[in-house]
Structure 1
Amino acid sequence: MKVLTAHPGIFNDEKVIDSNISFAPFLRFLKEKAQNESDSRSTFYKLMVEKFERNPDTMLPIAATDDLSQYKEYLDLLIAAIFPITTDTNKDIYGIGVPFKFAIFYYSDLFKKTFAENGYQLTAVPQGVSLNKIKKDKLNWLYKLILERVYHFPVNYQNDIIHTLEIEAGEKRYVKVNIDPRFVDVKVKGDTPPLDYNRFCSCQNSPENLQEILPLDAFALEGFVIWTVEDVTQTEILNNIKSLVMNMNTSNEIDSYRNLEKMLPSILQLPGITAHLVPFPKVNGKHVLEEQFSAIDPILGIGNTKQQQHFFQLMLSYLERHHGPLIISDVNEATVSSYDFLKFLPIKNIRSFVLFPIVHKKEILGVLELASAKENTLNADPLWLLESTYPLLVLMLNRSMNILDSRLNEVIKDQFTALQPSVEWKFVEEAWRYLLTPKDQRKDIENITFEEVYPLYGAVDIRNSSIQQGNAIREDLQEQLELIRDTLETISQEIHLPLLEELQFKTADMLQNLSNNLQAGEDMKVNEFMDQEIQPVLEHLCEGNEQLKPLLRNYFSKIDKTEGYVFHHRREYEESLSSLNMAISQYLEKERDYIQQSFPCYFEKYRTDGIEYTIYIGQSIAQDKKFDHLYLRNLRLWQLTSMAHIAKLTHQLGPQLKTPLETTQMILMHSAAITISFRSDERRFDVEGAYNIRYEIIKKRIDKVHVKDTGERLTQPGTIAIVYSHVKEMEELKKYISFLQSKKLLLPDIEMLDLEELQGVSGLKALRVKVNIEAA
């Protein structure tokens, strides 16, 4: 029998370690077995040992290059002992090889057919695996053997490699090759090389490091290895499908489906068929069809979108009534005439077809379609092979539903709420990990944390907004009371009711007591007076007295129909406030997209009287991009620039507002990185740790901070105030300010200010600079 070897020069095995064939380890094994009298095969083992010992040459090492034909009868005995009598050389894949080398000197016919490219050379490198990896794996195998046999290290062997075989029609099969070294002796040349255990345990046990510690020229191998090969196509494809499902996302969803569809014929052991998996996600409780899945589908990939949707509804209606597979072994016009949605199959040259609904918890998740151009190719028999694959198909279809939900949420966020794509990837990962966990093992998702991020905070406040709001309320109340007073006086001239005099007295008293600075509860007192005493009387008089109707209708026309009170001053204030906030918000929305282009960051904007925002930037937020402090510096420059533009924008809007409002701009500089965590209970990000909480305290307390020893508010219209704690922060800020002053965006001069102590916070300082709000 000819020795099968890899192509010469691929491995150069003979240069790595001396390796010879030997029957000695096998005979030693037989002798140990023969001593066990209770083993019914012990007599056979003794006869084999005697046979080998009668020929002393069989006890000697045999070079791999020697002619082995003289040992054929001994090899036949060896094969008979190792492999059971039921082994078929034409159906089973096995062989006996030289230790460490890709050299097989005894093998089954199917081994040669499977692994020999041209009848005599082994296909030594599996498809998709690099030659370097094979060499590294071989050396790892060798060192594990040496460490176990010579140094008695407990070693967990990984003797299996997965080999990919291409068969007809591009179908792949996977086989697991096991190389068993039990009949290999490791010989030491001379003295046993000492092993420095400290060095061995502390180093990374790569082949390169091990060769320095244990040179291979100090050892030799004698014996043989047993090659056995097992078809593991089903297991490998299942593992590949698991990987597809785990790694599927919006960008690779279609490719994942196409790859899965190529694997399914191998699972079913039906070469020459095509498979199509189509998800049926739900939107608002109704199944929908995504065009990206229907384009090449045998049933749905016809006509225009309207026709596809029509066939989809017909198929869906059928599947809702029949959850079992629809099998048509011989497709022709007659066999599909009962199914309107299948009428194009004969035209598409499909001669055998299976429609297999994927159902989970009585819900249709999608369909698997199998098609063949040959009649009677498909029937119910192979479908049981999908049993192990079915849960993965369910998982994949569910994942598609989640992906669609994610796309819908992206549209909703983009169109209706603030989108935060920089951190969404981590939420998706956690959600997907949660979905993969069996339901009975699921726990609430813990807080999602981002470490070592840098915060940026800015606030655009409406100057004296509470005073302006109070003035609007007071003016409305005053106007309302004056309207009541005038109306009651006119009514008193027409009719005489003592109650009217009492109401006039109360109205005058309220007008007199209405303070310039509205006191808490005054508006409620007037509204209560209006609702409970004035309104019922005036409505009664309007219904019962024709002479008073014009007067009272005039009164009611001045009352806001929605609010029930005089409300126009408050409405003017709210409209003015809304106009300012909308302009600021729209500007920041546009800028948010701009700053994301340089580096992903979390941007949260929220409305108070004005607009506040918080930005977080750092490596933990970016999924695939390397963070550098230049992105942080860039963001701080943007922050200062954008505040100047906002100040100019709100100043230009001033003349258009019904209630004159001014804005102030403030930035908080914080140079230390913090940790933030998304708190699921409050649905927002919060800081973690005592030191980091100080940052949040400052944020909440600086909005009305005063300049030290002056009583002056830090924030002023037409300026930007930047609060900081450290000198280095101030020096960085001054560079940015100087640059923007050179661009005429900021006016010359910088105010250096100390701030009053806040509760729990001291030592804050500020820079204040004026914006060139009149510049074009």
Structure 2
Amino acid sequence: MRIITDQYDNHELPFKIKISFSAIFDYLEESGRHDLIQQFDHIPELKEGFDDFELLKTYKKEIGQLLETLFPSPLQQNEIKSVSIPFNFTSFKFTKRFLQILEDAGECYELKFRDFEETKIYIMACTFILNTCYGYNLDFKRPFFLDIPNVKTGELKHYRTLFNGDFMSIKKLENAPKITKEDYLELLDNFENIDLWKEKFPINSYELKGFGIMNLFDVTQDEILTNLKDNLLEKNNHSFFNLQKNIADLFGDPSIKFGFSTYDKDFNHPQSKDRYSYNSYILEQGSLLDCTNFFCNGIINQLFIKHELVAISDLSTYGKETNCNGFYEHLNKQDIKSVILVPFQMNSNTFGIMELVSPKKYVLNSVSANKLKDVIPSFSIAIKNFTEAYQNNLDAIIQKFYTSIHPTVNWRFYDAASNYLKHIDNNDSIPLIEDIVFEDVVPLYGQVDIKGSSIARNVAIKQDLMYQLELAEDVMAAAYENQKLTIYNEHQFRIQQQLRNLKRSLKTGDENSITNFLKKDIYPYFEHLKTINTILKEKVEFYESKIDDKLQVVYDKRFKYEQSVTLINKKLAQFIDTKQLEAQKMFPHYFERFKTDGIEFNMYIGQSLVKSERYNEVHLNNLRLWQLQIMCEMENIVYSIQHKLEHPLQVASLILVQSNSMAIKFRMDEKQFDVDGAYNIRYEIIKKRIDKALIKDSKERLTKPGYIAIVYTTNKDAEEYSKYIDFLKNKNYLTGEIEDIELQDLQGISGLKALRIQVSYLKETEKISFKEILEVLKN
């Protein structure tokens, strides 16, 4: 008799367990089996009971014989059953079928229940006492499952367990407190309070006597179907893609593979795997095919017209019957021998096919296809969920990369769309989409501008053009020296004229005129020169090696300039995009960023932008301080990458402060927000002109490398930002004295002032705590 002792850690129980077979002795007595009873007279413990589980081993032969009455021979190969001690999980006296299952599970297998909470054993035992001794009907029952592998076949079988407690009795011991109705009600509301349960049911305060019977029922197919349906109905792409093992388990063959393909409503052009298909064995990724020339008429009729399942148990036979059509050839190349195809109508425009394939003949057939009947309804729902989830992902991607609808204000657009649908549902004659306007928001504007970018770009253009003309002149000089033809000397003179004009200045249109001159007047001679001799051919080929293949011009200095600008923009954009996510956690606000020669960004903050949060002026103050801090950090980023720039560039930073709140409106034609109202347009005008502003009574620009300029209109703003500057100087973000500057009037704009402060480069900045920020804002 095999004995499996408790597989769980030692645990306390509210009762002592005494193993007793008195119920069997009573049965034998009633049946007149006195001869059998006498065989065990010398072991009174078997009837009276024992709590030393080692006696199971001592008397295992006798116990085995005694229990034969419960384990009749005809059922040994059929039933999966054993004797089990409740709440202790020691098991013995297994049926032959159960023993075979355990043997097939391998030596390493432990007989443990799935998702079993050992910490709940004590409470489970207490509820058993409440029901048995006190007559309550407290339902704590839950199904227990065993997952038992078969190391020979690789299968994992699932069994549901049922316990028979007819052979057990329980009694109160002297140290057991009396359980009142009040105790019972208190326990009902304190399931997790183990100390309370132990107070009401102390350890070993009852006695459980007897034994139990554990029956196992194979529910593998049910489990597979349940898991498969659960997997299908999960509303995410990953669960849909995890069906491979579920399908293989359902058919009991790991060789079976799963795929899915989609087709347009005319059934002539399957959609590629990149859209709604997954791991298709019919379609190649990104392919399009004509179904009428690919499938046979039988499959076209059965799948696409009648919407009926197709099962091919032997693909080779199918190939002979269809003259090895495209469908056969494509599957045969993949070593597929049997296949099942199940059709689904996804929507009015799209048709889907679930594909099951196997490298074995006859594994998939019209009989085994019946296993899918319970799955198909769930699969239909899963396809719908999958396509919806996919579409949602598309929407999210489009919103992120192609529209200006910021997550903070997303709710307002959905409200507007919902209202529009209501108008349609109410049969309004002309349903109008409402304007999206946010009132009483405060703007924040900042820019980190590449200083002198236009001049630097023109210098790069001029250097490239001069080098190109010098190369062309060199070719013509060599041609005249070699051939002594005056026409070559005349073209050399014309190139020199272009060079002299270019050295004096680069005018608008020079780039195009020089390029056209070379293409029209010079290049035709180059083709001829390459055929004359090796010297001239090498000269022309050297010229051509310096020309960009796509642009057909020398693109060296310009390339280095553009690369430098791109690197600065990329670094700044990555930084502010990351920091902006952190700032949104402080308080949601609208944010948009633009790449120019540098970075510009707008922010708007206010109550109307948020749906549930409460806005306070402290959120505006905090965002202003945050903006100034990250401007310092962006300046340092550009400073730190100077050695990587092919073309040396510097930046100058500016913040525009606006005290008064304004309204912003989403422009449907431009698909972006803009200020609303004539008065607010003044703010936009200032933004466009402020970086050209000069200090009053001078020709000095306000913005200059190494400094941050803060443009303001009221003394209150100046006082506020002066506090922020002092704070950031203390943290080594800024340095030097604050310059308070009056600005010259801009066209239509007067009365602007600015603070200017030097950036502290590459110093060790101190981390700013939330408490310090609050202190600055409070003061």
1:730-741 map, 5 Å: 735-736=723-724, 738-739=726-727
Task: Name the CA shift for 1:360/1:294 in 2 (closer, same or farther; >3 Å).
Answer: closer
1:356 positional shift: 1.9
1:30-429 map, 5 Å: 47=31, 59-62=47-50, 64=53, 65-66=55-56, 67-70=59-62, 74-79=66-71, 88-115=75-102, 123-126=110-113, 129=115, 133-167=116-150, 170-195=154-179, 196=183, 200-201=187-188, 203-207=190-194, 210-245=197-232, 247-249=234-236, 253=237, 255-267=238-250, 269-278=251-260, 280=262, 288-291=271-274, 296-301=279-284, 305=285, 308-310=287-289, 318=300, 319-321=303-305, 323-332=307-316, 333-334=319-320, 337=323, 339-359=325-345, 366-420=352-406
1:329 positional shift: 0.8
Q: Which residue of 2 aligns with 1:719?
A: 712
Q: Which residue of 2 aligns with 1:543?
A: none
Task: Name the CA shift for 1:385/1:90 in 2 (closer, same or farther; >3 Å).
Answer: same
Q: Which residue of 1 aligns with 2:4?
A: 4
What secondary structure sits across from 1:95 in the alignment? strand
Q: Which residue of 2 aligns with 1:571?
A: none
1:737 positional shift: 5.4
Provide the rounded CA distance (Å) in 1 between the counterparts of 2:441 and 2:307.
57
Matched, 1:638 2:622: no
Provide the rounded CA distance (Å) in 2 between the counterparts of 1:79 and 1:402.
55
Contact 2:233 2:385 survives alignment (8 Å): no
Contact 2:270 2:283 survives alignment (8 Å): no
Q: Which residue of 2 aligns with 1:548?
A: none
Task: Name the CA shift for 1:315/1:102 in 2 (closer, same or farther; >3 Å).
Answer: farther
1:262 positional shift: 0.6
Provide the rounded CA distance (Å) in 2 between the counterparts of 1:737 and 1:769.
19
Q: Which moved more, 1:315-324 or 1:90-99?
A: 315-324
1:720 positional shift: 6.6
Provide the rounded CA distance (Å) in 2 between the counterparts of 1:237 and 1:407.
30
1:276 positional shift: 1.4
Provide the rounded CA distance (Å) in 1 between the counterparts of 2:735 and 2:192.
63
Task: Name the CA shift for 1:45/1:59 in 2 (closer, same or farther; >3 Å).
Answer: closer
Deviations 1:16-66 (A, max 9, x none): 8532233456899x8xxxxxxxxxxxxx99648999999885652255424
Task: Name the CA shift for 1:283/1:234 in 2 (closer, same or farther; >3 Å).
Answer: same
Task: Name the CA shift for 1:325/1:199 in 2 (closer, same or farther; >3 Å).
Answer: closer
1:98 positional shift: 1.9
Deviations 1:281-306 (A, max 9, x none): 889999632348868543335xxx45
Q: Which moved more, 1:219-228 or 1:589-598?
A: 589-598
Provide the rounded CA distance (Å) in 2 between the counterparts of 1:426 and 1:389.
41
Deviations 1:344-375 (A, max 9, x none): 32232221111222335777553222222221
AA matched with 2:364 = L
AA matched with 2:83 = I
Task: Name the CA shift for 1:664/1:120 in 2 (closer, same or farther; >3 Å).
Answer: closer
Provide the rounded CA distance (Å) in 1 between the counterparts of 2:186 and 2:81.
40
Contact 2:259 2:279 survives alignment (8 Å): no
1:280 positional shift: 3.0
Q: Which residue of 1 aligns with 2:636?
A: none
Provide the rounded CA distance (Å) in 2 between the counterparts of 1:207 and 1:48.
48
AA matched with 1:109 = K
Task: Name the CA shift for 1:365/1:396 in 2 (closer, same or farther; >3 Å).
Answer: farther
1:774 positional shift: 11
Task: Name the CA shift for 1:182/1:740 in 2 (closer, same or farther; >3 Å).
Answer: same
Task: Name the CA shift for 1:217/1:416 in 2 (closer, same or farther; >3 Å).
Answer: same
1:151 positional shift: 4.1
AA matched with 2:311 = I
Provide the rounded CA distance (Å) in 1 between the counterparts of 2:589 and 2:659.
17
What secondary structure sits across from 1:327 in the alignment? strand
What secondary structure sits across from 2:368 in the alignment? helix
Provide the rounded CA distance (Å) in 2 between the counterparts of 1:190 and 1:417.
77
AA matched with 1:139 = Y
Provide the rounded CA distance (Å) in 2 between the counterparts of 1:27 and 1:723.
98
Contact 1:329 1:379 survives alignment (8 Å): yes
Q: Which residue of 2 aligns with 1:650?
A: none
1:257 positional shift: 3.6
Deviations 1:456-490 (A, max 9, x none): 942379xxxxxxxxxxxxxxxxxxxxxxxxxxxxx
Q: Which residue of 2 aligns with 1:501?
A: none
Matched, 1:22 2:20: yes
Task: Name the CA shift for 1:589/1:89 in 2 (closer, same or farther; >3 Å).
Answer: same
Deviations 1:236-288 (A, max 9, x none): 33443454345543xxx2x4244211111222x33233231325388999963
Task: Name the CA shift for 1:600/1:230 in 2 (closer, same or farther; >3 Å).
Answer: farther
Provide the rounded CA distance (Å) in 2 between the counterparts of 1:174 and 1:213.
37
1:141 positional shift: 2.9
Task: Name the CA shift for 1:424/1:182 in 2 (closer, same or farther; >3 Å).
Answer: farther
AA matched with 1:143 = C
Task: Name the CA shift for 1:49/1:615 in 2 (closer, same or farther; >3 Å).
Answer: farther
Task: Name the CA shift for 1:180/1:107 in 2 (closer, same or farther; >3 Å).
Answer: same
Provide the rounded CA distance (Å) in 2 between the counterparts of 1:125 and 1:598.
47
Provide the rounded CA distance (Å) in 2 between the counterparts of 1:422 and 1:51.
87
Contact 2:262 2:277 survives alignment (8 Å): no
1:116 positional shift: 5.4
1:379 positional shift: 0.7
Provide the rounded CA distance (Å) in 1 between the counterparts of 2:35 and 2:590.
85
1:213 positional shift: 4.4
Q: TM-score, normalised by structure 2?
A: 0.52
RMSD: 5.8
Q: Which residue of 2 aligns with 1:458?
A: 442
Contact 2:158 2:219 survives alignment (8 Å): yes
Provide the rounded CA distance (Å) in 1 between the counterparts of 2:83 and 2:18.
13
Contact 1:147 1:153 survives alignment (8 Å): yes
1:13 positional shift: 6.2
Provide the rounded CA distance (Å) in 1 between the counterparts of 2:33 and 2:628.
91
What secondary structure sits across from 2:370 in the alignment? helix
Contact 1:644 1:720 survives alignment (8 Å): no
Provide the rounded CA distance (Å) in 2 between the counterparts of 1:295 and 1:414.
25
AA matched with 1:366 = G
1:522-533 map, 5 Å: none
Contact 2:13 2:122 survives alignment (8 Å): no
Number of residue-to-residue matches in the alignment: 505
1:222 positional shift: 0.8
What secondary structure sits across from 1:156 in the alignment? coil
Provide the rounded CA distance (Å) in 2 between the counterparts of 1:772 and 1:256.
57
Contact 1:353 1:370 survives alignment (8 Å): yes
Task: Name the CA shift for 1:176/1:383 in 2 (closer, same or farther; >3 Å).
Answer: same
Contact 1:719 1:770 survives alignment (8 Å): yes
Identical pairs, percent: 20
Deviations 1:123-158 (A, max 9, x none): 22257x5xxx55224334322212322344432132
Contact 2:229 2:379 survives alignment (8 Å): no
AA matched with 1:395 = I
Contact 2:339 2:356 survives alignment (8 Å): yes
Provide the rounded CA distance (Å) in 1 between the counterparts of 2:345 and 2:354.
11
Provide the rounded CA distance (Å) in 2 between the counterparts of 1:95 and 1:194.
35
Task: Name the CA shift for 1:245/1:21 in 2 (closer, same or farther; >3 Å).
Answer: same
Provide the rounded CA distance (Å) in 2 between the counterparts of 1:163 and 1:298.
36
